[in-house]
Chain A
C-alpha cells in the first residue's frame, strides 16, 4: 500500500512538474562534470575526434537497466550534436538488448540531425557479455579510435577501472557515473569530476533532453526530503518508544 501510494505521489508530482517546467523553465544547479562534458563534446566536433559512449552492462530486465535508460536519454541528445562530426560517436555496451537500443538511439539522433544516411550500425557495438570480456572489448575502442571524450554512464562493476585507466592513458576527458557502489568509488578516484549517486539520473536534464527530465530532478529532490523526514521521524519515534 505504501509502495502504491509512493508511486502515485511520484507520478502526480512528475506530471505536475512537467507542466510547470514547460510554463516556467528554471535553472539547474551547476554540476562540473556535465559542464565539462558539454565543452568536451563541442571540442570533439571541432577537432574531428570521436566521442565514445559506454552504457555498461545493465540488463534491461532488471532494475539495473534504469541507469542505462537514463544514459540512453543523454546519448540521444549527444548523438544529435555529434552526428555531423568527421568521426561519428561510438557506443559500446555489455548487454545485447542494450546494444540494440543504443543503435536505435543513435539512428534517432542522426535522423533528428537530418543525417540519417551517415548512420552506420557498427557504431553501436556489443563488446562482451561478461564484465571482463566487456572491458576487454571496450579498451581497444578508447585506445585506437581517436577518442577525445569517454562517457561511461550506466551499470558498471569493478571492471570499470580498466576502462578509465585505458582512457586516461590516452589523455581523454572522462565523464563517469554508475549505479553500483564499487564502480562509483573507482570513478571517484579516476575521473576529473566525479558524479555521485543519483547525479547519474540527471544526465538527460543537463544535455537539454526536455522538461520531463528537469521535472524529474525536482521530484527527486522532493522525494529525497520526504525520505529524510521519514527517517528522522522514524528514529525519533523509536527513541521516544525506547525511553
Chain B
C-alpha cells in the first residue's frame, strides 16, 4: 500500500511538473485533471480538519480540562454558524453579521495586541542577547519608525533620504533571504518528487 502511494504521488508530481515545461495537450489535460482532484481533496480536508477541531474540544469538555467552557462556546458557535451557512448560504444577513460583528473585530483586537507584543519583544531582545546584529536590528527599526512617524509639524527633515537608505538595505537583505528560501523550496519539492520525503504515507 505504501509503495502504491509513493508510486502514485511520484507519478502525479512528475506529470504536473512536465505539464509546465512541455505544454502537450495530453499532458496539459492530465495536469488540469490532477490539479482539480487536488483542489477537491483539499476542500474535503477542511471538513476533516473541522471534525478534528471539534473532537479535540469535545475531549476537553468530556475530561473537564482547564478552559473547557471556551471549547464549549467554540463547538456551539461552529454548529450554529455551520447550520445557518448550509441553510441560508454565505450571503445571508446573519452570516455577514457574524463575520462583520464578531470575526473582524476579534481579529482586529488581536492585531492591536500584536503591536504591543512586538514592541515588548524588541525591548526584551537586549535581555536575551547583546551583539552587533541585535543593535543594528533595533537601531534600524527605530530609525525607520522615526522616518515614517507622523508629527504635528509634518514630515521630519530628511525622512525621505532615511527611508530610501533603509529601504535599499532592507530590500537587498529581503531579496537575499527570499532567494535562499526559493532554493530550499526547490530542493524540498524535488525530494518529495523523488519519493525521498514521503509525508503522505509514512517513511
Show the binding face of A for B, using Cβ within 8 Å: 3-4, 6-7, 10-11, 14-15, 18, 60-61, 63, 66-67, 69-70, 72-73, 76, 95-97, 99-101, 103-105, 107-108, 111, 121-122, 124-127, 129-133, 135-137, 140, 144, 158-159, 161-162, 164-165, 168, 179, 181, 184-186, 188-190, 192, 196-198, 200-201, 204, 210, 212-213, 216, 219-220, 223-224, 227
Contact = CB atoms under 8 A, between A and B. Distances in A.
B152 to A, nearest CB: 29
Contacts of B124: 168, 189-190
A165 B117 contact: yes
Contact of B203 (A108, A121, A184, A192): A108
Given A126-B53, A188-B137, A220 B117 contact: no
A61 B180 contact: no
Interface residues on B, range: 35 or more
A140 B57 CA distance: 12
Contact of A201 (B47, B52, B103, B187): B187
A111 B188 contact: no
Given A66-B188, A122-B56, A165-B120, A132 B128 contact: no
Contacts, number: 185
A104 B129 CA distance: 38
A161 B52 contact: no
25 contacts: A6-B186, A7-B190, A14-B187, A15-B194, A70-B184, A76-B199, A96-B45, A96-B50, A111-B202, A130-B103, A132-B106, A136-B110, A162-B114, A162-B117, A179-B185, A189-B125, A189-B137, A192-B128, A197-B176, A201-B188, A210-B196, A216-B187, A216-B191, A220-B180, A220-B183
A237 B137 CA distance: 34
Contacts of A181: 174, 177-178
What is the predominant secondary structure among interface residues of chain B facing chain A? helix
Given A66-B188, A96-B50, A161-B118, A4 B21 contact: yes
A107 B118 contact: no
A96 B181 contact: no
A126 B181 contact: no
Contacts of B192: 69
Contacts of B187: 10, 14, 201, 216, 219-220
Contact of B181 (A10, A14, A179): A179
Contacts of B103: 130
B121 A164 contact: yes
A124 B178 CA distance: 29
A201 B184 contact: yes
A97 B98 CA distance: 26
B184 A220 contact: yes
B59 interface: yes
Interface in B143-199: 174, 176-181, 183-192, 194, 196-197, 199
A135 B110 contact: yes
Given A61-B39, A212-B191, 9 more contacts: A7-B190, A60-B42, A104-B200, A108-B203, A122-B52, A159-B114, A181-B177, A224-B179, A224-B183
B66 A144 contact: yes
Contacts of B17: 7
Contact of A73 (B110, B137, B174, B197): B197
Contact of B197 (A69, A97, A161): A69
A165 B39 CA distance: 35
Contact of B49 (A100, A161, A188, A220): A100
Contact of B48 (A18, A61, A100): A100
B179 A227 contact: yes
A125 B56 contact: yes
B46 interface: yes
Given A132-B106, A190-B121, A198 B183 contact: yes
Nearest to A163: B117
